[in-house]
């Protein structure tokens, strides 16, 4: 039987990159999927099935995230999986970073994940089951120069994941996180070649990861294959900074 047969999943930032790969993997495994993105774009056409809905959602707004989850309940009847994936970067050294770029990155990643975790958990605890997958980053484990905003937000997501896992475990709700390393997506291919090459040199497997390789781990955490796991963080990094 497909791993997510009959389940309903919500993915934020699902219009491209890792989020879109996660949505595609979930659809292949039988789920219905609701994508929420600031720029929904052509994701719906790309996925080509009637088990998907796409809505505009800004994860910095609690009301938007609640509306996104309500769409899943109205259209498909439940929320069994929530993936908090939406993200941005606003890199600069700490000396030159503008305060608004710190605030915006914290708002999208950390507060956005809090909104998604909190509102999804409220629905899931009533159902007595659910799996929440939060997309952190290797930057949150080791701290990257030029990313005091992003590293702080991504480390914060790990604390949030563990605290939420403790609060919701007895209701059948699991909360886990993924820390991807260098993954080939629109976010990273915009990087200058020199920076890309520096990162490649740090990867024991000597290649960047593909969005589908993060999606496979998200699928594992979303499905019953990981039924006794909560509060954990899985690294998808080709061995970088192990």
Question: In the complex, which residues of this chain contact ligand NAD (CB under 6 A)?
Answer: 12-13, 15-19, 37-39, 57-60, 85-88, 108, 135, 137, 180, 182-183, 185-188
Nearer to ligand NAD, 47 or 59 (CB): 59
Tell me if residue 228 is catalytic. Answer: no
In the complex, minimum distance from the CB of residue 200 to ligand NAD, in angstroms, rounded to a whole number: 12
Q: How far apart are CA 123 and CA 114, in angstroms?
A: 14
Phi, psi of 241 (to 5 degrees): 50, 45
In the complex, minimum distance from the CB of residue 185 to ligand NAD, in angstroms, rounded to a whole number: 3
Which residue's C-beta sits nearest to ligand NAD? Answer: 17
Nearer to ligand NAD, 15 or 33 (CB): 15
**28 C-beta neighbours (distance < 10 Å), count:** 14
Which of 26, 76, 102, 150 is catalytic? The answer is: 150
Rg of the Cα trace of the chain? Answer: 17
Helix (H) or strand (E) holding 139: helix 139-142
Which of these, 87, 88, 169, 157, lies nearest to 124 by C-alpha position? Answer: 169
| Inter-CA distances, 207 with 74, 199, 214, Å | 42, 10, 14
Nearer to ligand NAD, 156 or 180 (CB): 180
Six-digit token string for 182: 């260098």
In the complex, minimum distance from the CB of residue 2 to ligand NAD, in angstroms, rounded to a whole number: 24
Q: How far apart are CA 16 and CA 93, in angstroms?
A: 27
In the complex, minimum distance from the CB of residue 163 to ligand NAD, in angstroms, rounded to a whole number: 19
Q: Which residues form the catalytic set?
A: 150
């Amino acid at each position: 039987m497909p791993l997510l047969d009959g389940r309903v999943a919500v993915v934020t930032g699902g219009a491209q990159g890792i989020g879109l790969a996660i949505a595609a993997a979930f659809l292949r495994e039988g789920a219905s999927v609701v994508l929420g993105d600031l720029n929904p774009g052509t994701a719906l056409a790309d996925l080509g099935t009637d088990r998907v809905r796409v809505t505009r959602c800004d994860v910095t707004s609690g009301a938007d995230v609640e509306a996104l989850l309500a769409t899943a309940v109205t259209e498909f009847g439940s929320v069994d999986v929530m993936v908090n994936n939406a993200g941005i970067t606003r890199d600069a050294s700490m000396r030159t970073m503008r305060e608004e770029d710190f605030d915006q990155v914290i708002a999208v990643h950390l507060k956005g994940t809090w909104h998604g975790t909190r509102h999804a958990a409220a629905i899931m605890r009533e159902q007595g089951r659910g799996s929440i997958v939060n997309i952190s980053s290797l930057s949150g484990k080791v701290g990257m120069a030029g990313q005091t905003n992003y590293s702080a937000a991504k480390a914060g997501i790990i604390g949030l994941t563990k605290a939420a896992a403790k609060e919701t475990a007895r209701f059948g709700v699991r909360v886990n996180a993924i820390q991807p390393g260098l993954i080939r997506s629109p976010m990273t291919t915009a990087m200058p070649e020199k920076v890309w090459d520096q990162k490649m040199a740090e990867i024991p497997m000597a290649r960047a990861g593909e969005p589908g390789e993060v999606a496979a781990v998200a699928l594992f955490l979303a499905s019953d294959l990981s039924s006794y796991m909560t509060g954990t963080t899985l690294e998808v990094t080709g061995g970088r900074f192990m």
